[in-house]
Structure 1
């Protein structure tokens, strides 16, 4: 299915390569070369997905992501030359759904876009009206809402998909590989490291003390599970 993709990349040659590959995939692609134009175009055109370079003139890509997340749930794939854990956490915490570290292969980017769009279009896996509960944590797949102790929690698409899997079977321990398969399909370009990043971000949102989690806990030698305990 064709989607509208906005590419924000300051390197004209790289932007053209991305455009050609995505158009070959059947998408309608618009290209901008600075952050201010990216924000304006995203607001005006409301694309299905934004491919967003971090190092943009005019306005940093992360600032673009932060601004959009206050008003839109557009899927965001961040392109970054920064590979440190802090930078990855920062990008995902600001609302990016996925990241790709430069240099990358164009086909890898296309695979990430395909996975994000497929996940963004998929409906609730638990059936209409099925609200998931684990203690005082409530996940509503139909409304795409999360509440903890009555407090609304804002989650990215990726975080919500992960939390939905956990909440559907509280108490069950999932390996990172299984979580990757359930939330991202068979995308060979994604590593289990992204599960750890999303879990860290979710803990910051649903735990009273993220350093000592009681809801989303580590099962050593296995992976993670969601408990019925309060955060």
Structure 2
């Protein structure tokens, strides 16, 4: 069985727009998505990244570049298909109650601002996977799109100070140098 999975998606599809397909995939799966299309409008790029695309390549492009981008995404994400039994048997450290906008660490309520709550909620949803700063900017509504990566780092630092025993040596929100962060939730 193949452990590596990645989707290369064209936006021009019969009967459905590729941007909608990207959105639907991301609602259910963590699979990396590379958009490969002739539609290179800024609005299309923004929509794709907003719905969780990992990369966007406008046609025509060099096949070698596509191969390198695939390798980089798979290496960065270390995207293996998880064993369902492993996931079910491990206790989650963090959980959230969306209706109350509350996050718990080992059943203890964590006091967070709105921005901190939404960042940590998104990270819980993606726990175990590498999340780029760009992905956080695109997918966390409480962060303004024009914010800088430095703003993300500051927010992550504030969240760490509230959930880590030692925020200088984090156990839960791990920095992935040059890429972003990963939440360890088991």
TM-score, with structure 1 as normaliser: 0.39
TM-score, with structure 2 as normaliser: 0.48
Q: Considering Cα pairs closer than 8 Å and 6+ residues apart, tell me whether 1 or 2 has the greater RCO.
A: 2
